[in-house]
Amino acid sequence: MDFTNINISLKRAMQENECAALQLSPWQIAGLLDIFRESLCGYVKNANEQLGAHAEAYISAVELEKIDSIFRELTDNFFPMAHSNEPLRRLQIVDKQEFDHVRNRLLDLSHMARDAQSLSADLSESIGRLINP
């Protein structure tokens, strides 16, 4: 892809997603990350052709693959991390293990509250029997 086509692709993507970054949905962001990946790799390939393999700024195939794989990883995993179609500004990534711990402790507390309520009812009945035998 030449520079003109790369810029046209980027321009279209930006025009189609005019919202502020924090208002974009995870789907939109994942799509943009993929376009950015393609664009960056296209720019590097074009720059490499103009520079030549012996230039200091030349990016090797291994380095380009690393750039590509990082963006692929971000693109492929962005939506599953978000688990939502809400705007980014409304999302927060949390530690699953810690979340599970808090949820389990809240369930424990709920069970204790139920048990305490049952014990309270039993004690009330016992007091009633003691006062009015």
Tell me, what's the pLDDT at 16? 85
Q: By mean pLDDT, which of 3-7, 52-56, 90-94, 118-122 is the weakest?
A: 90-94
Flag whether pLDDT at 105 surpasses 80: yes
Flag whether pLDDT at 47 surpasses 70: yes
CA angle (57, 55, 2) in 5-degree steps: 70
pLDDT digits (tens, 9 = 90+) for 56-78: 999 999 999 999 999 988 887 77
Flag whether pLDDT at 82 surpasses 80: no
- Kindly state the average pLDDT of the residues 26-36: 86
**Percent of the chain whose pLDDT exceeds 90:** 50
**85: amino acid identity, one letter:** N
In the chain, where are the structural domains located?
A: 1-93, 94-133
Structural tokens at position 91: 């999302």
Block residue for tokens 């943009």: 32
- Kindly state the average pLDDT of the residues 108-130: 92
Answer yes or no: pTM beyond 0.85: no
Tell me, what's the pLDDT at 79? 64
CB 20 within 8 A of CB 49: no
- Which residues touch 71 (CB under 8 Å, ≥6 apart)? 33, 34, 36, 37, 40, 41
